[in-house]
Structure 1
Amino acid sequence: MKKTALTYFALSSLSLAAHAQSSVTLYGIVDAGLGYTSGQRVADTKGAPGKPVVYRNASNYGFASGTWSGDRWGLKGKEDLGGGLAAVFQLENGFNIGTGQMGQGGREFGRQAWMGLSSEKFGRLTLGRQYDPIVDFVGTISAGTFLTGMGAHPGDLDNIDNQARESNSIKYTSPSFSGFQFGALYGFGNQAGSVKNQSTWSVGGQYTNGPFAIGAAYMQANNAYGANGGAWTGAYDGTFASSINEGFASARNQQIVAAASTYQIGPVTLGVSYSNTQYKPGSFSLFTAKETFNSAGLTVAYQVTSALRLAAGYDYTQGSSINGAPAPKYNQVNLASYYFLSKRTALYGLVGYQKASGKTLDMSGNTVNATASVGDVGNGISSASNVQTLVRVGIRQTF
């Protein structure tokens, strides 16, 4: 009887030890509220080369899902393999809390889906659908940290606000070396007969020292060549869902250089950001000369009390001239307030205003007037005019 009890105790101890070395965590964010948009474009005609779409503006009052943070739920797993090595994975689903529909094109785990190995000494190597180093090292200290996606550079054309992910990718992230960390990603296009078509690669790094942080990254995404160009269905999702840059979706490739920095002075955090986004044409493109957008932003956040935080920001974006027409320009101002009811639950109010000028391209390659599109595409639809105002109030809870 004693031997049986001892055996049971030993086996139970081993089971508990094994369980302690492995873990799976369920987590998520639910975010819902109400919103107003001064003008969302509604198409009255179909477009074609030489015949731009005729849009009209319509104001919108209604339910708003995932304004501060995209609604999501996910699973994180880790298994200790010994010697500082662990097997890791993350599966993350995005959804609309207002309708229950899945996001990211209806993917079950469209936000993230990856697995790999993590070493305390050598870093982490992962494979799957992942964020690129722009998101990892620039996005984590950009305006979106203080102003949500509404404060992103217009249309999130530089992906700092993680509009796009890289599928079929392999990524390396280093350990931290006295505050410095770097990483690299390669997304396979999976195109028969070509290694380059629809592939993506990116590198970046971040340095943090007390109240100071700075990050920079580079990304290049290659479109397919030939008649099927413009699909962006390989490794890279693309960032062409707004009037800011939809006319350049037929680009042969997209290149982004992005950087951001923050400095905290007591309850005040100051931030700056910059990006250079280039679209290079190919034989199938609807434009013939390289188009470049430069974006710069300033942010300030003030922690008034432990529960109340206020923030403001200004962004300026300018593209290069198209066919000799006035260059497109975008001025954007954002205000934000957050009140934390607890560590997990907070109320928020957001305002964004943008004014556009100059000329750009539409989806059919026609030269048209530039129109406003506040923040990232997750928060609204482009305007039919050169001005747009967004207002959002809501509640967010994490778990």
Structure 2
Amino acid sequence: MKKLLMSGAATMIACAGAAHAQSSVTLYGLIDAGITYSNNQITPTGGGHSNWELKSGPVQYSRWGLRGAEDLGGGLKAIFNLESGFNLNNGQSSVNNRLFNRQAYVGLSSRDYGVITFGRQTDDMVDFVAPLSLTGTEYGGTHFAHPFDIDNLNDSFQINNAVKYQSPDFAGFKLGALYGFSNQAGGFSNNRAYSFGMSYMWGPLSFGAGFLQLNSDAATPGQLNTNGAVTDTTGSSLQGVLTTTAVPLGALAGRQQTWGAGVSYAIGPAVAGLVYTQTNLTELFQTGSSTHVQNFEGNVRYALTPAVELSAAYTYSRAGGLAGAGNPHWNQVSAMAGYAFSRRTDVYIQGVWQGVSASANSPLGVAWINGLTAPSSTSNQVEATVGLRHRF
């Protein structure tokens, strides 16, 4: 009888172990904190003053998340990801009234056919072009973003109500597509989004391209759909400069098109890259006007030692077509050095200089480095940060 009981217990333990091996849930996260200096920040009383700040996420947004997978057999898995961004300074969520503000999706992953997911997700500019730009990586991040992060390479907003597909690897090629529903009866295109992209990797060469379109009836007063594809708010956006009011990015324009491509090449410990993006905005801010913003970025990374990584980027940006904005041009130089204590913990120092030129009295004639609390009172701005980053 004892042998029978012991045999049964052993069988149950073995079955439980097998079930555990086929299903997993992982808690993960990243905490990034730094002390940031910037000059010329506009104050409520006017003029510009230097500012010392303790910043959460100077390079990468602080976050925590849960991801899981269940093996369904035959190379098929059920997967999910729930990810929440937070402000390390005060412990609050980075987006009010939204628990999993960065990602929240469930789907199926097939070894042979790719991955399809449903929920709040990143677009294909973020997936395929951003990894080739320093702002979309751990080697530059938030302050390295192109002006106003207008091309979203720094992942300033995500897509709600989204169905997303990513293909398996075909001899180095990968493809992706996304559609974000408006979820509005009688307003199928009112605040919807769609995106697609591709990448190719061959030895030291990496290439990526993407496209994102946002549609909204926001150009018509009273037609803003706050339950649609894009509902994030941001103060450091093009709209923030022109109107000083942050509203859903879906209301930025009647139509927003962003497309771009990038390439990088590795030579030993060095990686050099080029990125181009263009964003077209039509029916802007209920005015009927249109504009476009182009970004040209060159970047380089160099592993000085296994623990020391150096990176730098130069970005030239220009806007045109917006009446009264002065067709500004931006020059931005960014650099960063990091030292890794381990695979999970590192310290870094980074700096950014931005200069803008525009016609007199243009609202876009002042510099504003992404991630800083306020724009400069002049056409130039400098940022310097010393930070600590930990992953778990």
TM-score > 0.5 by shorter chain: yes
Residue of 50, 58, 63 corresponding to 2:54? 63
Residue of 106, 110, 117 corresponding to 1:119? 110
Q: Distance in 2 between matches of 1:229 and 1:330?
A: 34
Q: Distance in 2 between matches of 1:243 and 1:5?
A: 66
Alignment correspondent of 1:304: 304
Deviation at 1:325, TM superposition (A): 6.3
8 Å Cα contact 2:59-2:141 kept in structure 1 = yes
Task: Say if 1:85 and 1:149 are closer, same or farther in 2 by CA, change over 3 A.
Answer: same
Deviation at 1:244, TM superposition (A): 3.8
**2:381 is the alignment partner of 1:394:** no
Residue of 217, 220, 229 corresponding to 1:224? 217
Amino acid at match of 2:206: A
Task: Say if 1:317 and 1:134 are closer, same or farther in 2 by CA, change over 3 A.
Answer: same
8 Å Cα contact 1:356-1:372 kept in structure 2 = yes
Q: Which moved more, 1:17-26 or 1:97-106?
A: 97-106
Alignment correspondent of 1:373: 368
Q: Distance in 1 between matches of 2:281 and 2:226?
A: 13
Instruction: State the TM-score, normalizing by the size of structure 1.
Output: 0.90
Q: Distance in 1 between matches of 2:237 and 2:79?
A: 39
Instruction: State the TM-score, normalizing by the size of structure 2.
Output: 0.91
Identify unmatched segments of 5+ residues in structure 2.
Answer: 244-250
Alignment correspondent of 2:264: 262
Amino acid at match of 1:274: Y
Q: How does 1:109-258 map to 2 (within 5 A)?
A: 109-144=100-135, 145=137, 146-225=139-218, 226-228=220-222, 234-237=228-231, 241-242=235-236, 244-246=238-240, 247=242, 250-258=252-260
Alignment correspondent of 1:335: 335
Alignment correspondent of 2:320: 320
Q: Distance in 1 between matches of 2:292 and 2:308?
A: 39
Alignment correspondent of 2:33: 32
8 Å Cα contact 1:373-1:382 kept in structure 2 = yes
Q: Relative CO higher for 1 or 2, CA cutoff 8 Å, sep ≥ 6?
A: 1
Alignment correspondent of 2:276: 274
Aligned residue for 2:43, secondary structure, equals strand
Alignment correspondent of 1:90: 81
Q: Distance in 1 between matches of 2:233 and 2:194?
A: 16
Q: Distance in 2 between matches of 1:116 and 1:369?
A: 42
Q: Distance in 2 between matches of 1:324 and 1:100?
A: 40
Alignment correspondent of 1:52: none
Amino acid at match of 1:251: A
Aligned residue for 2:70, secondary structure, equals strand
Residue of 81, 88, 94 corresponding to 2:72? 81
Q: How does 1:9-48 map to 2 (within 5 A)?
A: 9-43=10-44
Amino acid at match of 1:279: L
Deviation at 1:78, TM superposition (A): 0.2
Root-mean-square deviation (Å): 2.1
**2:91 is the alignment partner of 1:100:** yes
Q: Distance in 1 between matches of 2:231 and 2:70?
A: 31
Q: Which moved more, 1:339-348 or 1:381-390?
A: 381-390
Identify unmatched segments of 5+ residues in structure 1.
Answer: 45-54, 361-365
Task: Say if 1:359 and 1:121 are closer, same or farther in 2 by CA, change over 3 A.
Answer: farther
Amino acid at match of 1:150: H
Aligned residue for 2:363, secondary structure, equals strand
8 Å Cα contact 2:132-2:274 kept in structure 1 = no
Q: Distance in 1 between matches of 2:262 and 2:231?
A: 23
8 Å Cα contact 1:94-1:111 kept in structure 2 = yes
8 Å Cα contact 1:271-1:299 kept in structure 2 = yes
Identical columns (%): 38
Amino acid at match of 2:7: L
Task: Say if 1:40 and 1:124 are closer, same or farther in 2 by CA, change over 3 A.
Answer: same
8 Å Cα contact 2:183-2:227 kept in structure 1 = no
Deviation at 1:239, TM superposition (A): 7.5
Alignment correspondent of 2:349: 349
